[in-house]
């Protein structure tokens, strides 16, 4: 196996299709296109680690699509053991994550950087002990008021066509990365196609107005899911 692609999200039917589950949506789109079915962790050959994930195996390119079924802020509990099991380095692990700082459907590839306040991404950084792994950020748009409520909502009918198109583009970009493993070339190819300019350093390093960044008290489940 050459690559791991991790889509971040929250488990349970109540979270299906929500903005915070953009990582799941991208992997689901790839799986449908490739005729794959996500299976429980117990079906993964020679796996004896945590069972909190679903996986789908590609063979050309040789890669594993993974949807952690922990809460968002515990995503790293799955990613680090899987990387060790596969004998891969952080550069071989790409994380797909939602981003409130980007308009709905805007896509941005990066070779590394901070979490920007996204708790799932922060969990992966802490578990791997580095932020030097590639990621694809999927824009979900900024909140009108409360960030927690915003990320747990679904896209509006006006936004959905843009999101659907973005899922197709994201799938193509990830297939390219899984085949070649070169995030810089992938960025060059797809960012020009998406007509994106260079990002400012703050986009990957600085906190955004993310859930938990305001210091407000949240219910336990909300904290775990963000």
User: For the domain that residue 170 is a member of, what is the CATH number?
Assistant: 3.40.50.1470
User: Looking at residue 154, what DSSP letter applies?
Assistant: B
**What's CA 199's distance to the chain center, in Å?**
19
Q: At 225, is the pLDDT very low, low, confident or very high (cuts 50, 70, 90)?
A: low
Nearest to 68 by CA among 87, 85, 84, 81: 81
pLDDT digits (tens, 9 = 90+) for 187-218: 999 998 887 544 433 344 333 333 333 333 33
Beta pairing class for 93-99 and 3-7 = parallel
Q: What is the mean pLDDT of residues 60-80?
A: 96
Count of domains for the chain? 1
What DSSP string runs through 77-99? HHHHHHHHHHT--GGGEEEEEEE
Q: Which domain holds residue 218?
A: 3-225
State residue 208's pLDDT score: 34
State residue 32's pLDDT score: 97
Residues labelled as active-site residues: 20
Peptide bond into 61 cis (omega under 30): yes
The pTM assigned to this predicted structure is 0.86
State residue 226's pLDDT score: 61
Evaluate whether 2 touches 178 at the Cβ level (below 8 Å): yes
The three-class DSSP label of residue 77 is: helix
Peptide bond into 23 cis (omega under 30): no
For the record, the structure tokens of 137 come out as 């950020």
Average pLDDT over the chain reads 88
C-alpha span between 17 and 155 (Å, rounded):
8
């Amino acid at each position: 196996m050459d690559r791991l692609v991790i889509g971040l999200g929250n488990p349970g039917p109540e979270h299906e299709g929500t903005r915070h589950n953009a990582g799941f949506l991208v992997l689901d789109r790839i799986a449908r296109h490739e005729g794959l079915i996500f299976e429980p962790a117990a079906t993964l050959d020679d796996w004896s680690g945590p069972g909190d994930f679903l996986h789908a195996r590609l063979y050309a390119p040789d890669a594993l699509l993974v949807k952690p079924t922990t809460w968002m802020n515990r995503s790293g509990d799955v990613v680090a053991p899987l990387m060790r099991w596969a004998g891969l380095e952080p550069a071989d692990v790409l994380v797909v994550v939602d981003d409130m700082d980007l308009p709905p459907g805007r896509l941005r590839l990066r070779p590394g950087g901070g979490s920007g306040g996204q708790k799932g991404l922060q969990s992966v950084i802490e578990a791997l002990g580095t932020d030097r792994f590639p990621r694809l950020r999927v824009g979900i748009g900024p909140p009108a008021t409360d960030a927690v409520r915003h990320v747990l909502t679904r896209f509006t009918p006006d936004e959905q066509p843009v999101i659907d198109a973005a899922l197709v583009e994201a799938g193509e970009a990830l297939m390219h990365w899984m085949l070649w493993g070169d995030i810089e070339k992938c960025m060059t190819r797809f960012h020009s196609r998406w007509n994106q300019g260079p990002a400012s350093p703050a986009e990957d390093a600085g906190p955004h107005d993310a859930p938990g960044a305001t210091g407000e008290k949240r219910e336990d489940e909300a904290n775990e899911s963000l």
